[in-house]
Structures are given as C-alpha cells and as structure tokens.
Chains A and B, each alone.
Chain A
C-alpha cells in the first residue's frame, strides 16, 4: 500500500515539475533523486489547537509557510480547542496514511490510545509547542517547543527582583490558561516555584481564563470585586492580560501602575500594550517553529536520530525593549 502511494506521489512530483517548470530535466532529476533516496514528497498531517489567539495564528502561518518552502505536502486541521476534534483529526491522518503527524495537544493527558494507533501504523509523531504526559515516550519521536516551566520561572524572577525591597505582602492574582493544558500547568508551576521561596508573595486568586480576552476580562472583573488589594496580575498569555486590562480600567485603576501585569507570549497587541506602559513585563514564547519542525520531520523520516526535546529560542521584554522591538514584530 505504501509502495503504491509512493509511486503515485512520484508520478505526481514528476508531472508537477514538468508541468510547472516545463523543464524535463528538472523533473527527471527530481524524481531520480527521490527514488534513489527513497523519499518521495513528504505528507505531513498537522493537527492545530485552533485559532485561539494571534500567537496561534502566527504559529499556523509559520508551519504552513515552512511546509511550502520545504516542499512538504501539509494536511492541516483545526481542533477548535477540543481534544476530541484533535483525536478525530489524528485518526483521519492515520487512515490517510500520511508520512508524519505533527500536533499541538490541546491538553496534556489522554493521548496514549491514539498515539499507539499511530505507532502501530508506523507513522512517526512530532509534538509541537505543547507536551503530552504519556509515560511511554516511544509514542512520539520528539517534542519541539518552548520550555513553559522556564517561562513561568522567568516571569517569577522578574517579580522577585521588582519587589526585592518590598517588606509587606505582595498580593498576586493569576489568570491560568485552558485547564489541563501544558502551558497552563507549567507556567503556573514554574512561577510558583520561584516566588514560593519568599512567603511575602501570595497568590490570592487563580482561575482559568481559557487563553481568551473575553474570559480574561470576565474573570479579572470577578477578581477585582472579590479582592480589593491586588498588586500583581500574572496572566498565562497576552490575550487574557489584554482582557484583564479592560477590566482593571473599568474598575478605575491604572493597569501597569496600580496593578503590575506580567504576561507570556509577546504577540503584537501585547507588545503594544507593553510599550504603552499597560503591561510591565512579557516573557516571549515564540510561535515561529515551522522551519525547525520541517527539518525535524525530514530527519525523522530519513531515519536519523533526533533529540527527544528541542527547545525554541526565546527572550523576555521590558517596556523599553518593547518600544524598540515593536516596529519589526511579525505577529
């Protein structure tokens, strides 16, 4: 069956090359090289979380553009933040016999069955941006993405430095991401680990804002009423932070001054708010991992060994840094 598919793919490549270029030699050489190397056009099934934010959109674009640049045939699906949709998408990729499956898990748990199906079908799986908690790490080849615990720690470190001379209690509220998702779990634990060293830092309320502006605003509104003394807001992404800013302004307080705000991601709208002084600190979480993903996919399919954990390059931004970085921000 795979042989048949490879033949079809080979023919398709040949036809495309000749049809587009009109250059018989290129067509011949490309099909020759693919047959000798044993790799025809790679088909990748990519199951995206959903377009929850500007970050995710940039991530999607990066994957799509990198696939085009690398000559990989990309089958793309959008799970709309629902694990069952994503499992369905992965199952359909297995049925379509794609060469490699990549996906950003909506939540961390519950993937063993479907990943086992992929493994049985001999289709390698690459996790992007979010991890799964499967005990059996042979279920996927590698995990490419940010280190969310590290992001949480960076956010915590800035807070500790800012309030180093503060003697009283520092009341913190936290807007968590989608409950059960890896970034929510890890950004929470990394942050808690760093600030936990000093008892003056108190997380007085922590709720899920589902990574969306609307929920971020709604939850922050409730926080503001239930807790009159909030010093710091830690939001697991920019969008929830942006929603919370509106709630804070509605309460007659000044975001960035009365309540210090730390967020994660550094999307354009977030960077704008940082430059405007409404957010105090952003920990970057880069979505532009498409090219790295395509490299990894090629390596995995060529039978090369890859690191089981590949971390994306990331930084942090203060208000001044945001002003200089903003004009060239892609997403």
Chain B
C-alpha cells in the first residue's frame, strides 16, 4: 500500500486542480436513469485503458512487453462491427454476442501468436509484438476495407456507451475482469508463477514451472483485454476506425503500469497500482479538456505531469530531494514491500 501513496497523492492533486478551476467537476447527477458527471466520464473513457493496462501489467511482470495492444484494439473493433453489419437485424442480441465472440476469439488467437513468438521461438518481446503492432493496423484496415464502419445496434452500443444499474456498462466489465484477474493471480498461485517467470524464466523452468505455457497464457490474456477494450472503444461511437482506434494506447498502458509501480524489469506487479495509473492518465486528459489547456501545448502539459509523477515515484529521486526528511530506503525495506504486495 505504501508504494501506492505517491500515485494516490498525484491523483488527489489532479482532482484538486479541477476542484479549483472547473465548476461542477465533482457534481454527479442522475440523467435519463444513469449517473452523469465528470468523474463518471473519467471511468467511462478510462475503462478501455484500464483493461489494456491490466493485461499489460501481467506481460510486464514476465519481464516482457506487448506493443501490439493498440492494433488488437483496432482489429477487434473492426471485426465486431463488420460482423454486425452482416447481421440481418443489427439489434439481435445473439448476433451481437456472436460478433463479439468472433472478435475476441481473433484477439486471443493473435495473443497466442505473440506468446508463441516470445516463448517458443524466443524472439525478444519488444520485437515479437512490434510485428503485430505494425501489421495489425494493416489487418484492421483489411477487415474494414479502409473505411470507417458505422453500425446501428442497440445491444452493441451497450458495451462501451451504455449503462446498467445506473453505472456505465464498460466500468462493470472492467470490475469483473479486474476481480477475476486479482482472484487468479493473488488467490491462486498463478501470480507467483508469473512473477517467478519474470524474475528468471530458466530458473523457473528448472524448478518445474512450465514457463512457456505461462508466457503464452499471459500474452493471450493481454490480447483478450485489448480485444474487449476494442469492443468498448468502437461501441462507444458505434463505429470502427481501423486507423485511429487505440492509436498509441500501448504507450498509455505501459505508462499506467509504470506509474502504478510495476517494474519494467519484471518479477513483480501491482494490479491496483495499474488501475490507479490508468485513472491518473484519464483524469489528466479530462482535466486538460475541462480547464482548457490550449491544444498546442497539451502534449507538453501532459509530459510535464507525467515527468513529475515518475520523479516522485523514483526512490532515488525522493532520497535526493527529501534527504533531510527521509533516508534512502535500505534494501531490506524494499524486499519487505515486495512481500506485502505479493500477499
């Protein structure tokens, strides 16, 4: 929990900025039978990023990385919308479920492909997934024929743009996926195995862990998350845009994972940290729109905030700056921290 203090502080600071500069930012009302407000927007638009970042967390925990998630987002959205346009009735729930199933199946297959390249062929993860990152955009355009596919389907609209029990449906999906992931990795041994493979794949194999299988499962899970995120993004605007959907989301996802305190070197991870990291990024985006940062300077503003977050996250930096108040953390403390997070 201590490790989450800095990102939590940063999120609070961002919200404080909004409290001062934006009227009605914290106002949440019921409109048309669902919750409505800026905070709800952060969850709604942040949901795809949280999902992608969740998958990315596990991949990074195996000391890998998945650059192809943005492309998988585009492919899954394009595939689902293409299937829906071929339905006789776009409002048929079974048809939409089928379309979503085909899209997610394709995403998982692509993830297994990534895992195969990494685990069996032994290509470095950054290169193996770079292949799909580049080729995937082409595949998405091939599926959508270079067009933006517009659909008009009420059940599909629900996934990313609808509400259930007054809550945005996307955030319910995220909660379910998060709960399942937390259960499998923290209540069962899977998380430990993943961390073990990330720490040293060869040593893990020698101690009887099927490293290859674990790696393939993790990459497939990451692609599945990206696939669901792709459905949400395309459903939110009822159209699939092969070129722009999920563009650069892999970078935001990696950033969310890093802000959340997961080491890029692998071997340990924090799911709650990642969720927090993704929320910080989305809050930052919403803040930029709300307080009216000029578009020309948006990227610079974002970069500054991210730099500050990362610096505050770094124990070495904190040790230097806050030297008089705190001593640099001795190694024993970080080992203890690792144990607390793992439990």
Verify B286–A222 contact, CB threshold 8 A.
yes
Verify A179–B41 contact, CB threshold 8 A.
no
Within the assembled complex, what's the spacing in Å between the Cα atoms of A54 and B286? 27
* Contact partner, B292, options A176, A207, A243, A251, Cβ 8 Å: A207
Verify B38–A225 contact, CB threshold 8 A.
yes
- The smallest beta-carbon distance between B240 and chain A, in angstroms, is 10
| A258 at the B interface (CB under 8 A) | no
* Contact partner, B244, options A205, A210, A226, A250, Cβ 8 Å: A210
A202-224 to B contact mask, C-beta < 8 Å, 1/0: 00011110101110011101110
Verify A213–B237 contact, CB threshold 8 A.
yes
Within the assembled complex, what's the spacing in Å between the Cα atoms of A243 and B148? 13
- The smallest beta-carbon distance between A181 and chain B, in angstroms, is 11
Within the assembled complex, what's the spacing in Å between the Cα atoms of A251 and B295? 24
- The smallest beta-carbon distance between A179 and chain B, in angstroms, is 4
Verify B298–A208 contact, CB threshold 8 A.
yes
B28-43 to A contact mask, C-beta < 8 Å, 1/0: 0001100011100100
B37 contacts which chain A residues (CB < 8 A)? Answer: 225
| A228 at the B interface (CB under 8 A) | yes
- The smallest beta-carbon distance between B194 and chain A, in angstroms, is 32
B286 contacts which chain A residues (CB < 8 A)? Answer: 222
Verify A51–B41 contact, CB threshold 8 A.
no
Verify B244–A225 contact, CB threshold 8 A.
no
Q: Which of B140-180 contact A (CB under 8 A)?
A: 141, 146-148, 150, 161
| B242 at the A interface (CB under 8 A) | yes
Verify A51–B245 contact, CB threshold 8 A.
no
| A157 at the B interface (CB under 8 A) | no
**With A51-B141, A57-B148, A252-B32 as given contacts, are A218 and B245 in contact (CB-CB < 8 Å)?**
no
Verify A206–B243 contact, CB threshold 8 A.
no
**With A206-B295, A225-B24 as given contacts, are A219 and B242 in contact (CB-CB < 8 Å)?**
no
Q: Which of B218-234 contact A (CB under 8 A)?
A: 233
* Contact partner, A81, options B36, B41, B244, B290, Cβ 8 Å: B244
- The smallest beta-carbon distance between B219 and chain A, in angstroms, is 24
A80 contacts which chain B residues (CB < 8 A)? Answer: 137, 243, 247
- The smallest beta-carbon distance between B307 and chain A, in angstroms, is 21
- The smallest beta-carbon distance between B172 and chain A, in angstroms, is 17
| B22 at the A interface (CB under 8 A) | yes
A52 contacts which chain B residues (CB < 8 A)? Answer: 241, 243-244
| B296 at the A interface (CB under 8 A) | yes
Closest Cβ neighbor of B141 among chain A residues: A51
- The smallest beta-carbon distance between B157 and chain A, in angstroms, is 9
A50 contacts which chain B residues (CB < 8 A)? Answer: 243-244
| A180 at the B interface (CB under 8 A) | yes
* Contact partner, A246, options B45, B141, B161, Cβ 8 Å: B161
Within the assembled complex, what's the spacing in Å between the Cα atoms of A228 and B22? 11
Verify A226–B236 contact, CB threshold 8 A.
no
Closest Cβ neighbor of B282 among chain A residues: A218
A214 contacts which chain B residues (CB < 8 A)? Answer: 233, 236-237, 241, 244-245
| A146 at the B interface (CB under 8 A) | no
Number of chain A interface residues as a range: 35 or more
B301 contacts which chain A residues (CB < 8 A)? Answer: none
Within the assembled complex, what's the spacing in Å between the Cα atoms of A51 and B144? 11
* Contact partner, B290, options A51, A210, A222, A269, Cβ 8 Å: A222
| A53 at the B interface (CB under 8 A) | yes
**With A81-B243, A208-B298, A252-B31 as given contacts, are A218 and B292 in contact (CB-CB < 8 Å)?**
no
Q: How many residues of B contact A (CB 8 A)?
A: 40
Within the assembled complex, what's the spacing in Å between the Cα atoms of A316 and B123? 55
Closest Cβ neighbor of A220 among chain B residues: B289
**With A219-B289, A225-B38 as given contacts, are A53 and B148 in contact (CB-CB < 8 Å)?**
yes
- The smallest beta-carbon distance between A206 and chain B, in angstroms, is 7
Closest Cβ neighbor of B292 among chain A residues: A205
| A60 at the B interface (CB under 8 A) | yes
A213 contacts which chain B residues (CB < 8 A)? Answer: 148, 237, 239, 241
| B23 at the A interface (CB under 8 A) | yes
A60 contacts which chain B residues (CB < 8 A)? Answer: 146
Verify B298–A212 contact, CB threshold 8 A.
no
- The smallest beta-carbon distance between A24 and chain B, in angstroms, is 39
B148 contacts which chain A residues (CB < 8 A)? Answer: 51, 53-54, 57, 213, 239
Closest Cβ neighbor of B293 among chain A residues: A207
Within the assembled complex, what's the spacing in Å between the Cα atoms of A216 and B298? 16
- The smallest beta-carbon distance between B301 and chain A, in angstroms, is 12
Verify B45–A218 contact, CB threshold 8 A.
yes
Within the assembled complex, what's the spacing in Å between the Cα atoms of A208 and B141? 24
| B6 at the A interface (CB under 8 A) | no
Closest Cβ neighbor of A223 among chain B residues: B289
* Contact partner, B22, options A207, A226, A246, A250, Cβ 8 Å: A226
- The smallest beta-carbon distance between B81 and chain A, in angstroms, is 12
Verify A179–B241 contact, CB threshold 8 A.
no
- The smallest beta-carbon distance between A124 and chain B, in angstroms, is 28
Within the assembled complex, what's the spacing in Å between the Cα atoms of A255 and B285? 25
A179 contacts which chain B residues (CB < 8 A)? Answer: 295-296, 298
> Looking at B233, B242, B290, which has the most chain A CB atoms within 10 Å of its CB?
B290
- The smallest beta-carbon distance between B31 and chain A, in angstroms, is 5
Q: Which of A80-100 contact B (CB under 8 A)?
A: 80-81
Known: A225-B290, A226-B292, A252-B31; 17 extra A-B contacts, CB below 8 A, are A51-B146, A60-B146, A207-B288, A207-B289, A208-B295, A210-B244, A212-B244, A214-B233, A214-B237, A214-B244, A226-B24, A226-B38, A226-B289, A226-B290, A226-B291, A251-B31, A251-B36
Residues of B within 8 A of A (CB): 22-25, 27, 31-32, 36-38, 41, 45, 137, 141, 146-148, 150, 161, 233, 236-239, 241-245, 247, 285-286, 288-292, 295-296, 298
Can you name 26 A-B residue pairings with CB atoms under 8 Å? Answer: A51-B147, A51-B148, A51-B242, A54-B148, A78-B243, A81-B247, A179-B298, A212-B241, A212-B244, A214-B233, A214-B236, A214-B245, A218-B289, A219-B289, A221-B41, A222-B38, A222-B290, A223-B289, A226-B24, A228-B23, A239-B148, A242-B237, A246-B237, A250-B32, A252-B32, A269-B150
